Structure 1
Amino acid sequence: MPAPRWPCGPGSSDRPSVSRRTTPLTDEPRLQAEPRGGVPDVIDTLPGFHAACDALAAAGGSLAADAERASGFRYGHEDWLVQFKREGAGILLFDPIALGQAGADWQEFNHAVGDATWIIHDAMMDLPGFADLGMRPMRLFDTEIAARLLGMHRFGLAAVTEHYLGVTLAKEHSAADWSYRPLPRDWRNYAALDVELLIELEAAMRADLKAHGKQEWAEEEFAHVLAAGTGPRPERHPVPWMRISHITALGRDRRGLAVAKALWEKRDELAREHDIAPGLLLSDAAIVEAAQRKPRNAREFRAIRSLNERVRMHTGGEQDKMFERYAPIQRSIKPSVWKETIQRALALPDSGLPTLPRSGGRNENEGNAPKSMRIWQTRHPARYKRLERVRRAINRIAEDTRTPADVLIRPQIVRNLCWQEDAQGLDVASFLASQGARDWQVRLISASVARAMV
Structure 2
Amino acid sequence: MVDRYAAADGPLAADAERASGYRYGQQDWLVQFKRAGAGIALVDPVALAQRGVDWGPFNEAVGDAEWIIHDSLQDLPGFVQIGLAPKALFDTEFAARLLGRQRFGLAACTEHYLGLTLAKEHSAADWSYRPLGRDLRDYAALDVEVLIELRARMVDDIESQGKEGWAREEFAHLLRKGTTPKDPPEEPWRRTSHITQLNHDRRGLAIVRELWTERDALARELDIAPTLLLPDAALIKAAVAKPRNSRQFSQIRILNERVRMHVGGERDKMFERYAPLQRKVKPSVWKNAILRALALPESDLPSASGGQDRVEEGTNAPRSMKYWRVHHPDRFDLLEHERARLNVISQDTNTPVDVLLRPQALRNLCWQAGEGFVEASEDAVAGFLRSQDARPWQVSLLSRPLAVQMREAQERQTQEDRQAWEPQGHGAPERAGSMQAAGGAIV
| TM-score above 0.5, yes or no | yes
Contact 2:14 2:68 in 1 (8 A): yes
Find the partner of 2:340 among 366, 376, 392: 392
Report how many aligned residue pairs link the two structures. 402
CA distance in 2, matches of 1:292, 1:208: 51
CA distance in 2, matches of 1:130, 1:386: 42
1:53 maps to which residue? 2
Contact 2:201 2:304 in 1 (8 A): no
Q: Residues 361 and 217 (structure 1 numbering): CA distance in 2 closer, same or farther, change over 3 Å? A: farther
1:430 maps to which residue? 383
- What percent identity do the matched residue pairs reach? 63
Structure 1, residues 355-376: CA drift from partner, whole Å, max 9, x if none?
4454434425352222222222
2:97 maps to which residue? 148
CA distance in 2, matches of 1:406, 1:351: 41
Of Structure 1 and Structure 2, the greater helix share is in 2
Superposition deviation, residue 351 in structure 1: 4.3
Superposition deviation, residue 120 in structure 1: 0.4
Superposition deviation, residue 394 in structure 1: 1.7
2:433 maps to which residue? none
Superposition deviation, residue 60 in structure 1: 0.9
Larger radius of gyration: 2
1:406 has 2:354 as partner: yes
Superposition deviation, residue 242 in structure 1: 2.2
1:71 maps to which residue? 20
Contact 1:63 1:85 in 2 (8 A): yes
Contact 1:283 1:311 in 2 (8 A): no
Contact 1:254 1:353 in 2 (8 A): yes
Q: Residues 190 and 403 (structure 1 numbering): CA distance in 2 closer, same or farther, change over 3 Å? A: same
1:446 has 2:395 as partner: no
Superposition deviation, residue 203 in structure 1: 1.2
Superposed counterparts of 1:100-139, under 5 Å: 100-139=49-88
Structure 2: tracts of 5 or more residues without a match: 408-443
3-state DSSP class of the match of 2:235?
helix
CA distance in 1, matches of 2:213, 2:245: 22
3-state DSSP class of the match of 1:174?
coil
1:83 maps to which residue? 32
1:176 has 2:125 as partner: yes
Find the partner of 1:202 among 151, 170, 183: 151
1:339 maps to which residue? 287
Q: Residues 249 and 388 (structure 1 numbering): CA distance in 2 closer, same or farther, change over 3 Å? A: closer
1:41 maps to which residue? none
Aligned-partner residue type, residue 431 of structure 1 = F
Q: Residues 263 and 451 (structure 1 numbering): CA distance in 2 closer, same or farther, change over 3 Å? A: same
CA distance in 2, matches of 1:371, 1:292: 25
What is the TM-score with the length of structure 1 in the denominator? 0.85
Superposition deviation, residue 392 in structure 1: 2.2
Superposition deviation, residue 346 in structure 1: 3.1
**With CA pairs under 8 Å and 6+ residues apart, which has the higher RCO, 1 or 2?**
1
What is the TM-score with the length of structure 2 in the denominator? 0.87
Contact 1:64 1:195 in 2 (8 A): yes
1:214 has 2:167 as partner: no
Superposed counterparts of 1:317-356, under 5 Å: 317-356=265-304
Between 1:183-192 and 1:343-352, the stretch displaced more is 343-352
3-state DSSP class of the match of 2:130?
coil
CA distance in 2, matches of 1:115, 1:192: 23
CA distance in 2, matches of 1:365, 1:291: 34
1:25 maps to which residue? none
Superposition deviation, residue 401 in structure 1: 1.1
Find the partner of 1:293 among 236, 241, 265: 241
CA distance in 2, matches of 1:449, 1:349: 49
2:410 maps to which residue? none
Structure 1, residues 246-266: CA drift from partner, whole Å, max 9, x if none?
333334444333332222111
Structure 1: tracts of 5 or more residues without a match: 1-51
Q: Residues 367 and 258 (structure 1 numbering): CA distance in 2 closer, same or farther, change over 3 Å? A: closer
Q: Residues 372 and 346 (structure 1 numbering): CA distance in 2 closer, same or farther, change over 3 Å? A: closer
1:33 maps to which residue? none
Contact 1:69 1:77 in 2 (8 A): yes
3-state DSSP class of the match of 1:368?
coil
Aligned-partner residue type, residue 413 of structure 1 = A
Superposition deviation, residue 311 in structure 1: 4.4
CA distance in 1, matches of 2:34, 2:92: 15
Q: Residues 357 and 203 (structure 1 numbering): CA distance in 2 closer, same or farther, change over 3 Å? A: same
Contact 1:282 1:311 in 2 (8 A): no
1:8 maps to which residue? none
Aligned-partner residue type, residue 263 of structure 1 = L
CA distance in 1, matches of 2:267, 2:51: 30
Structure 1, residues 415-434: CA drift from partner, whole Å, max 9, x if none?
11111222545511111111
Superposition deviation, residue 165 in structure 1: 1.4
Structure 1, residues 226-283: CA drift from partner, whole Å, max 9, x if none?
01101122x2221122222233333444433333222211111100000001111112
1:418 maps to which residue? 366
Aligned-partner residue type, residue 106 of structure 1 = W
CA distance in 2, matches of 1:350, 1:315: 41
Superposition deviation, residue 324 in structure 1: 1.2
1:246 maps to which residue? 194
Find the partner of 2:206 among 258, 261, 268: 258
Superposition deviation, residue 194 in structure 1: 0.3
Aligned-partner residue type, residue 187 of structure 1 = L
Aligned-partner residue type, residue 386 of structure 2 = A
Q: Residues 352 and 387 (structure 1 numbering): CA distance in 2 closer, same or farther, change over 3 Å? A: closer
